[in-house]
Amino acid sequence: MLRGCAAQLLLATLAFLLLYVITGPEGSPGGSHFALMVLYLAALWVGKLTAPFLPKLPPLLPMLVVGFLLRNLPKLGTVIGS
């Protein structure tokens, strides 16, 4: 379990670095590409984390909740990007 989490964290870090190298300032925190990457990774991880606890619901529902929270929590949209 810990090995899988470490591998996912490493892949996410490499994805962020690659995004920044390719897109420049848009890939840095506050840019639109960075916001899309954060939204995708957060939704994916929450969907996987809640799957054992909510077996009858598809992982898409927690992903939708993450998108709603990232958009509506105060001051989070300006930090991640709008």
What is the reported pLDDT for 2? Answer: 64
The three-class DSSP label of residue 69 is helix
What is the reported pLDDT for 14? Answer: 92
6 falls in which pLDDT band (50, 70, 90)? confident
- Distance (Å, rounded) from C-alpha 59 to C-alpha 6? 22
The three-class DSSP label of residue 23 is helix
pTM for the model stands at 0.73
What is the reported pLDDT for 77? Answer: 64
Cα dist from 80 to 1, 24, 48, whole Å: 28, 16, 22
How far is Cα of residue 48 from the mean position of the Cα atoms in its chain?
12
Look over the chain and give the mean of its residue pLDDT values, rounded to a whole number: 81
